[in-house]
Structures are given as C-alpha cells and as structure tokens.
Copies of this chain bind each other. A is one copy, B any other.
Amino acid sequence: MKIVLLGAGNVATHLGLRLIQTGVELLQVYSRTASSATELGKLLGVPHCSDLKQLDKTADIYIYSIKDSALSEVISGVNIPDAIHLHTAGSIPMDIFGGFAHHYGVLYPLQTFSKAKPLDFSQIPLFLEANDDHTAGILTQLATRLSSVQYYLSSEKRKKIHLSAVFACNFTNYMYRIADDIVSETGLPFDVLQPLITETADKIRYLTPTEAQTGPAVRNDEPTMLTHINLLKENENALKTYITLSEQIKELYKK
C-alpha cells in the first residue's frame, strides 16, 4: 500500500506518524509551504515536495489533509485519475473529488490534534466514505491498520458528527478558557481545575450527559445564580454565556 500525504498541519502530522507506525509505504509528503513540507518530511523520514509538479505519481492512495478552504484547489492540481483519493475533513462532501478522480472517498478522524501533543491514534473513531466498492475495499484495509474504531457514514451524517465535535471539543475548551479567566482573578493557578475537568470528562463514560448534569441552573438555585451574575458584571462574554446556558439548562430540567 503506497501512499502520498498532502498537507503538513496537525492532522497530517499525526496521520503521517501513524502511517509510518503501521508500516505502510509512505512515498512522499507535500505541502504548499516549503518549510512545512521539509519539517514533516524530516519528522517522518520520507521525501517531501512543495510543488505539485514534483508529486510522486506512483502511489495507490493520495490522502489530502489540507484546510477546507484550500482543498479544492489542491485536488484540481493533482492529475492522477486512476489512484484512490481521500480527504480527512469533517464538513466537506466526498463529491469534491467528482470530475478529478474515478476512485475517491473520505477518512475523517474524530479527534483534536496538536503537533506537540502525542496521542493514541489506534483508538480514534474513523468515519469512512467511498464512491465505489474498489475504493471501499482498500479504504477499509487502510482504516483497519490505523484504528480499531471505524464507521461508514454519508457526507451528510459526517457533517453532523463534525458539528457535534464543535460542542464536545471547541466550545468545551472555550468553557475552560472562561474558567481560567475567573480563576486567575483569585491568584490561583488554572491547575486547581484539572481534577474537576478530568472527572467531568470521565463521568460521562458511566452516566449520560443528561444524568450527569449538576450545578445551580439544574436545581434552579436562584440565589447562587444571582451571586454568579453579580461576580460577572465586568466580564461581558462570560456573563452572556452564563445567562444563555443557565436559561437553557433551567428550562430543560424544569419539572
């Protein structure tokens, strides 16, 4: 299984490391930014290029881990119609490849990646889609090497999974940020919140989020909510968030 990886960002870096780890033949990495291509090529110990004209044309699979806004331009610049072409984006339909390739699909890893933070790729859920049986067969083989968790899913459903991740990851992290701002006003380090954050994430392995909901809003504890609103007078964003989310939680748990 010979692969060329296009992209050198967070997803491409972790995917590249995992590809090497599972022993597939990674022929080359490409990035429009020469320094990024060099960096990832060195990290993975494989050739790199930053010009699509130098792309290795002998691979079985071309994987595009490129930001959404650049995907279409890069795809149209690669003219290898008989290979399999895959992108890794949550919100982009598979049909972006239509007209540029015969065999194509999607391999979307549901995770938050940062270059500097190692993680266990083998447990990451992979959402797969393929335009024909030939592609599906090879995509399944590839995905099985990468992770033990895989689902075939339509582009429409993949969009919803991506949207759910915005809440579960991006907005959750924003809640951590507001909490960090408030803690810093006491002079204590953000670390004091880590056991609570870890336990909150762990708890929903045993309870549904609906069962796990606690706090002043769920018990309609008006005095505490008023205390909190007063404390947030100087922090417009946190105040708006507090009121919006508390109203929704109150309403949902009203008996």
The interface residues of chain B lying within 8 Å CB-to-CB of A212 are: 112, 114, 173, 176
Number of interface residues of A (CB under 8 A): 91
Nearest to A153 among chain B residues (CB) is B186
Report if A160 contacts B (CB, 8 A): yes
Q: Mark A140-180, 1 if CB is under 8 A from B, else 0.
A: 00000000010101000101110111111111111111111
Report if A221 contacts B (CB, 8 A): yes
A205 to B125, CA, bound (A): 23
Report if A249 contacts B (CB, 8 A): yes
Say whether A204 contacts B173, CB under 8 Å.
yes
Report if A193 contacts B (CB, 8 A): yes
Contact sample, A vs B, 29 pairs, CB 8 Å cutoff: A68-B221, A110-B193, A111-B199, A112-B214, A114-B203, A123-B195, A124-B195, A153-B186, A153-B188, A157-B186, A161-B192, A163-B227, A164-B183, A165-B179, A165-B193, A167-B175, A167-B179, A169-B199, A171-B175, A171-B215, A171-B241, A174-B209, A175-B175, A177-B210, A179-B209, A190-B208, A240-B244, A241-B244, A241-B248
> What residues of chain A have their CB less than 8 Å away from a CB belonging to chain B?
67-69, 91, 110-112, 114, 116-117, 119, 123-125, 149, 151, 153, 157, 159-161, 163-180, 182-183, 185-188, 190, 192-210, 212-219, 221, 223-224, 227-228, 231-232, 237-238, 240-242, 244-245, 248-249, 251-252
